[in-house]
């Protein structure tokens, strides 16, 4: 199912399209695919959420192509006509088609003059995307337990690196310093991952490093969980998970509520474009009407061509 431009903007989490260029698209796509990779939620065993991630992940390429077309100037915005039904001279379709070539030739000959003199011209601001609320993203992050996973990773990552600091310190102060730095980075990465919407305000390179440290800690947890052969060991392994749930609802919930109060009803990702209209028809659409083969035109296109011709062909007598 095709997505809309509005959905593409939200899926790629573009907050201000005026600040990105076509060169940024690969990085944006990479970030979106990390965000919506189905592996991120498989541990939740929620079929509905997993299906949502699968769908979003598959739509990313289409969304990137749509945004790329917009940045290249080839994505056409707005409706071809606004409120023109009463103005169109709706002759029978076959008669209009017979005369379409002549109308196209007339308009092609006058098109440069019409644009130069701005005959029946208006400039309209067209909204391509209504944007999306940051509060919705906050709600999604809280539901998906991103922070809970950071807490689990913090515990297991810090435990391992803490032991390495002690062991390496027995052999070399230099090795102890190196492992100590890694221990600090592991802890810092998990703390940052705990913060609401960190992926919005963190540089991409920092996010990538953060995810690597968090995934490292989670890998240790998964290994410990799979290796537990006794129920008592399994309980000990799961203690950090219970602690993470406690942190989520005692600390994180108020933190997210505070963040939502701060952002309020703020909407990001709104995309607008100024479009030239002539006789209530968008410039790009008129370009199509005067060049398209009449035999392949739809009924609406034929009636639109007839309307544009009746409205603009008298430009020489009016200026």
Same domain, 184 and 255: yes
47 in a domain, yes or no? yes
- Find, among 314, 292, 316, 318, the residue nearest to 304 by Cα: 292
Provide the residue count of the chain.
319
Asked whether residue 128 is domain-assigned, the answer is no
* 188 and 236 both lie in a single domain: yes
Same structural domain for residues 139 and 258? yes
Q: Which two tokens stand for residue 304?
A: 């639109």
- Mean pLDDT in runs of 10 for the chain (319 residues)? 82 89 86 80 76 86 87 63 36 75 94 94 90 85 75 85 88 90 88 75 82 84 81 80 83 85 88 91 94 90 87 86
* Domain that residue 31 falls in: 1-75
Q: Is residue 244 part of a domain?
A: yes
The answer to whether residue 269 sits within a structural domain is no
Residues 310, 239, single domain; the answer is no
Q: Is residue 183 part of a domain?
A: yes
Same domain (yes/no): 150, 181? yes
Rg (CA), the chain: 29
Q: Pick from 59, 57, 211: which is nearest to 146 by CA?
A: 211
pLDDT for 90: 35
Same domain for 285 and 182 = no
Residue 287 lies in a domain: yes
Report how many domains make up the chain: 3
Instruction: Identify whether 86 is part of a domain.
Output: no
For 113, what's the count of Cα atoms within 13 Å in the CB-facing half-sphere? Answer: 13
| Cα separations in angstroms, 101 against 88, 126, 303 | 18, 31, 13
- Is 102 in the same domain as 67? no
Same domain assignment for residues 166 and 57: no
Residues 60 and 150 in one domain: no
Are 302 and 228 in a shared domain? no
The DSSP code for 227 is H
Reference 220, options 177, 167, 162; nearest CA is: 162
Shared domain for 177 and 231, answered yes or no, is: yes
Sign of CA dihedral 189, 191, 193, 195: negative
pLDDT at 89: 35
Containing 261, the helix (H) or strand (E) segment is: helix 253-263
Query: In this predicted structure, what is the pLDDT of residue 91?
Result: 40
Residues 6+ apart with CB under 8 A from 305: 96, 100, 103, 104, 289, 290, 294, 297
pLDDT at 66: 87
Give yes or no for a contact between 63 and 11, defined as CB atoms under 8 angstroms apart.
Answer: yes
Q: What pLDDT is recorded for position 114? A: 95
pTM over 0.85: no
Distance (Å, whole) CA 273 – CA 58: 27
Residue 87 resides in a domain: no
């Amino acid at each position: 199912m095709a997505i809309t431009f509005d959905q593409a903007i939200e899926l790629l989490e573009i907050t201000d399209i005026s600040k990105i260029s076509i060169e940024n698209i690969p990085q944006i796509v990479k970030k979106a695919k990390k965000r919506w990779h189905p592996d991120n939620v498989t541990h939740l065993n929620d079929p509905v959420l997993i299906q949502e991630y699968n769908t979003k992940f598959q739509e990313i390429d289409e969304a990137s192509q749509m945004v790329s077309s917009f940045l290249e100037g080839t994505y056409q915005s707005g409706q071809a006509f606004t409120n023109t039904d009463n103005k169109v001279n709706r002759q029978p379709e076959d008669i209009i088609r017979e005369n379409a070539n002549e109308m196209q030739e007339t308009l092609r000959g006058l098109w440069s003059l019409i644009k130069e003199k701005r005959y029946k011209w208006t400039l309209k601001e067209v909204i391509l995307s209504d944007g999306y609320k940051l509060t919705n993203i906050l709600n999604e992050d809280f539901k998906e337990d991103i922070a809970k996973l950071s807490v689990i990773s913090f515990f297991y990552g810090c435990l391992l690196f803490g032991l390495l600091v002690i062991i390496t310190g027995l052999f070399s102060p230099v090795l102890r310093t190196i492992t100590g730095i890694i221990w600090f980075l592991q802890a810092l990465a998990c703390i940052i991952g705990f913060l609401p919407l960190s992926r919005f305000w963190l540089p991409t390179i920092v996010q990538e490093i953060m995810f690597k440290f968090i995934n490292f800690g989670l890998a240790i947890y998964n290994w410990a969980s799979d290796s537990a052969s006794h129920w008592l060991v399994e309980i000990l392994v799961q203690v950090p998970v219970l602690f993470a749930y406690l942190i989520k609802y005692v600390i994180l919930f108020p933190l997210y509520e505070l963040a939502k109060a701060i952002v309020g009803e703020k909407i990001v990702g709104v995309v607008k474009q100024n479009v030239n209209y002539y006789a209530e028809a968008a410039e790009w659409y008129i370009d199509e009407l005067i060049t398209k083969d009449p035999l392949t035109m739809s009924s609406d296109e034929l009636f639109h061509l007839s309307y544009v011709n009746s409205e603009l062909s008298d430009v020489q007598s009016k200026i």
